Structure 1
Amino acid sequence: MDYQQAVARLLDYADFERSGRFADRPDVAPVLALLSRLGDPHLGRPTVHITGSKGKGSVAAMLESVLRHAGLRTGLYTSPHLDSYRERVRIDGEPIAEAEFACHAEAALAAAEETAASLAGRQLVTFDLLTAIGFLAFRAHRVQVQVVEVGLGGRVDSTNVFPHKDASVITPISLEHTAILGDTPAAIAREKAAIVRPPGPLILAPQGYAEAKEVCVQAAAAAGVEVVDVAARYRWQTLAKGPEGQQVRLQWGDESLEVFLPLLGAHQAENAATAVASAHALAGQGLPVTAQAIVRGLSAVRWPGRMEVLARQPLVVVDGAHNRDSARRLREALEEYFPGRRAVLVVGTLADKDIAGMALELAPVALHVVAVPFAHPRAMPAEGVASAFAAAGCPTSLARDIEDALGQALAISGGQALICLTGSLAFVAEGRRLWLANRAR
């Protein structure tokens, strides 16, 4: 089985990431059965489990980089990917090779077939198998610490399979996936806080909803673990900034560090504080995390598709702002880093997103909005995107596809306005690939 065959076989299973249909799963018993058949590859090493609505991938990438620069062999599991499923499983910061992905996929698929009879009609899905592939790779490489990002929610997510954790991390919670997770911040927080397990602490990032924070604190108390309240214990300040990144001062107690962070936006400084709090928690449990590892790790972090500058002339930025809060943070970052520059927004998103809220947040910086259909079964029709932005007072146009949209954006910008591709991360990935491929010609 080669890599393409492995991906095709994995997608034969129900892929709820793309279909938008989610199993009525009461627990993660099917995933535990699969992992048991594989010899429990998720166990046997320090584990950090990260959930939240915003910033969980960025925090995971930052923490992994810090731990790697502390001299540890790291495993990082994240989702979704930009270009290849291999990106979801990283060893020492690098995606696993196609041949290795195929090898672990073959093992996971065989185990899934052997497990099916014992599941009493319950089904495994694509994300379950991808998660198993990640753990198989971590075991094969004998990683010394694993950083695992939740896919969706937490309580019944495929990654919520650890009886014990060295740290549980919850990044800011906002209204998202309300049809699945609940329609209030407290309901969503209950789903996410279900990842908290002893003995490690809960690292709780700053929360915009008091009721969400309270739910998380209660979950930690029920699990008998300490809460590290990042907002109360840490301070962060951007000292200087530019298109390459920002110089940030992080403070806790009587100590402080200055670090260069090659990620844009005030929210990334906040994410860095959460990552550092997580690193400190692991250091308190014996992992060799030093101030030097924090400085070097944060300065080396890479997280494409998030306020990423693809080109300077013309100025092209891509950012996977997929909900109203993310759109607000994108607007704030554009205003902060490119003051006075209006943006031609190229937007594609999924049908279940709050496009009206996103439009209201982005309208103040929008010179024009090009609405785009893209290759995803859950994509919102371009007409729906255009209608929402028009209602927010933005000039709009429709594009046939992303290539047509980029052509329109270049013509409208006239070399003065910046071009920003945003919306679903799947859309951003498609646009990013096309832009980079055209530039390479």
Structure 2
Amino acid sequence: MDFPAAVNYILSFADYERMPRSAVVFDLRRTERLLERLGSPQNAAKSVHIAGTKGKGSTAAMIASILVQSGYRTGLYTSPHLLDIRERLQVDGELIYEKEFARLTEIIKPEVEAVNESGGLGELTTYEILTAIAFAYFRDKKVDYQVLEVGLGGRLDATNVVKPEVCVITSISYDHMDVLGDTLAKIAGEKAGIIKPGCIAVTSPQSPEAMAVLEKVCRQQAVKLVKVGRDVTWQRNSVSPGGQSFTVRGMKSEYHLSVPLAGEHQLENAATAVAVAEVLAERGDLITARTISRGIANVSWPGRLQILRRNPWVIVDGAHNGDSIRKLVQALRQHFAFEKAIVIFGASSDKNIAGMVAELSSFPDRVIVTRSHHPRAVSMERLVDEFSKKGVTPEVSENIAVALERALSVAGPGDLVCASGSLFLVAEVMQYMLKRT
């Protein structure tokens, strides 16, 4: 089996990233059964498990970077990917090789078929199979730590088969309400499903409604809860288009840090990563102020306020709910000097489109709506309708290439072009800009 055949095989199963999530039956027993057949690779390394609505990927990348700089062989499992499915499986910052991906897929294929043929639980999904491959890969590479980003929710996510050292809950807001619930308390309850006896929990700042749920679960599980914003705080010192410097006051020490990511929300994520590092150090890991500083400074997390071009600025960001759009607009104003702002916007149909448009509509001088090739992409008619309700008349471009060329044709050297609303849109913009240059 070669790499393209391996990818095609995995994508031949139900993929909730590309279909209505209400059509997927979430059941951890499928993943558990598959992992048993593989010799329970999820138990081969220590785990840091991360759930949340926003910031969990960035936080996971920062934690993994700190562990690597501290000398620990570290696996990082995230989703979705932007340009290459191998982005999801990294060890010490390097993507899995195509040959290794194909080899593991070939090994796992008969076990997948055995689980599916055993009946009673439904067929394994693309995400569940990828998660099993990740655990098998990390075991083969003999990692010391595996840093695992939850795909959706937490309680029933395929990653929730580990006994973690630390459970992390990043910022909780409204998203995936068709699956997780229509209140912050219900959503928080699903995220808190990763908290287990024996771990220490770390949470980013939360709304009172979400925090109450996390506190209750930690009491029930007899788990210590570290609160970023109370036990660990941060203060921004300076900003530039390429990142920001800041100070974190931790539980044990004070850290003077810089991060190559823009936005106040990334400082919150970094403070959360520092809190996790301090917890691990308290448990005996050799993590120092220097390795924390180097880990944060060397983190890479593409597609989040990423600069693709200057003069004019071309920036992509995967914001896909109202809260993250608000933070994006704030970051663009703080980090970049520009004359006019042109926004290219597209989103998935299962998102709160009205909430995103409400946060975005007063920012740009020009809006161009478009859609990615993703099957869940919302219609441009819907986007036009939502912007019109806010008194904005957007231009319509049939695809992302047309939208980008239009934006660049009207942008002066002192202007800013920002594409956002969906990671799938961001991926297509990045692909097009790579070809264009």
**TM-score band w.r.t. shorter chain:** over 0.9
Q: 1:255 aligns with which of 244, 253, 257?
A: 253
Give the TM-score normalised by structure 2.
Answer: 0.97
Contact 2:22 2:178 in 1 (8 A): no
Counterparts of 2:412 and 2:350 in 1: how far apart (Å)? 33
Q: Can you list the C-alpha shifts for 1:227-262, whole angstroms capped at 9, x where unaligned?
A: 001111111111111011101111125731111100
- Change over 3 Å in CA distance of 1:23–1:198 after alignment to 2: farther
Contact 1:367 1:395 in 2 (8 A): no
1:104 corresponds in structure 2 to 104
Secondary structure of the 1:101 match is helix
Contact 1:75 1:147 in 2 (8 A): yes
2:191 corresponds in structure 1 to 192
* Displacement of 1:11: 1.3
1:141-152 correspondence runs (5 A): 141-152=141-152
Secondary structure of the 1:316 match is strand
Letter in 2 for 1:43: N
Counterparts of 1:360 and 1:246 in 2: how far apart (Å)? 28
Contact 1:25 1:156 in 2 (8 A): no
1:356 corresponds in structure 2 to 354
* Displacement of 1:24: 5.7
2:297 corresponds in structure 1 to 299
1:365 corresponds in structure 2 to 363
- Change over 3 Å in CA distance of 1:14–1:26 after alignment to 2: closer
Extract unaligned runs of 5+ from structure 2: none
Counterparts of 1:345 and 1:243 in 2: how far apart (Å)? 18
* Displacement of 1:390: 2.5
- Change over 3 Å in CA distance of 1:49–1:239 after alignment to 2: same
Counterparts of 1:413 and 1:387 in 2: how far apart (Å)? 25
Letter in 2 for 1:271: N
Counterparts of 1:341 and 1:45 in 2: how far apart (Å)? 50
Counterparts of 1:75 and 1:226 in 2: how far apart (Å)? 25
Letter in 1 for 2:144: Q
2:55 corresponds in structure 1 to 55
Contact 1:370 1:397 in 2 (8 A): yes
Contact 2:46 2:145 in 1 (8 A): yes
Extract unaligned runs of 5+ from structure 1: none
Contact 2:252 2:278 in 1 (8 A): no
Contact 2:35 2:132 in 1 (8 A): yes
* Displacement of 1:37: 0.4
Contact 2:45 2:144 in 1 (8 A): yes
Give the TM-score normalised by structure 1.
Answer: 0.97
Identify which range, 393-402 or 314-323, moves more after superposition: 393-402
1:220-259 correspondence runs (5 A): 220-253=218-251, 255-259=253-257
Secondary structure of the 2:48 match is strand
Identify which range, 270-279 or 102-111, moves more after superposition: 102-111
* Displacement of 1:357: 1.2
Q: 2:272 aligns with which of 270, 274, 282?
A: 274
Secondary structure of the 2:230 match is helix
Q: Can you list the C-alpha shifts for 1:70-102, whole angstroms capped at 9, x where unaligned?
A: 001000000000111100000101110111111
* Displacement of 1:342: 3.5
1:410 corresponds in structure 2 to 408
Identify which range, 336-345 or 100-109, moves more after superposition: 336-345
Identify which range, 295-304 or 353-362, moves more after superposition: 353-362
Counterparts of 1:382 and 1:416 in 2: how far apart (Å)? 28
Query: RMSD of the alignment, in Å?
Result: 1.3
Letter in 1 for 2:260: P
Q: Does 1:157 align with 2:157?
A: yes
- Change over 3 Å in CA distance of 1:8–1:26 after alignment to 2: closer
Letter in 1 for 2:412: G
**Alignment identity in percent?**
43
1:438 corresponds in structure 2 to 436
Q: 1:396 aligns with which of 394, 397, 405?
A: 394
Letter in 2 for 1:106: E
1:68 corresponds in structure 2 to 68
Counterparts of 2:365 and 2:73 in 1: how far apart (Å)? 46
- Change over 3 Å in CA distance of 1:51–1:341 after alignment to 2: farther
Counterparts of 1:286 and 1:119 in 2: how far apart (Å)? 44
* Displacement of 1:22: 4.0
Contact 1:189 1:216 in 2 (8 A): yes
Counterparts of 2:198 and 2:121 in 1: how far apart (Å)? 34
Counterparts of 2:148 and 2:193 in 1: how far apart (Å)? 15
Secondary structure of the 1:19 match is coil
Counterparts of 1:423 and 1:280 in 2: how far apart (Å)? 34
Identify which range, 245-254 or 51-60, moves more after superposition: 245-254
- Change over 3 Å in CA distance of 1:403–1:340 after alignment to 2: closer
* Displacement of 1:216: 0.9
* Displacement of 1:150: 0.2
1:178 corresponds in structure 2 to 177
Secondary structure of the 2:17 match is helix
Counterparts of 2:252 and 2:189 in 1: how far apart (Å)? 34
Counterparts of 2:158 and 2:217 in 1: how far apart (Å)? 20
1:310-321 correspondence runs (5 A): 310-321=308-319
2:30 corresponds in structure 1 to 30
Counterparts of 2:190 and 2:107 in 1: how far apart (Å)? 31
1:5-20 correspondence runs (5 A): 5-20=5-20
Identify which range, 15-24 or 358-367, moves more after superposition: 15-24
Contact 2:29 2:121 in 1 (8 A): no
1:335 corresponds in structure 2 to 333
Contact 2:30 2:121 in 1 (8 A): no
Secondary structure of the 1:411 match is helix
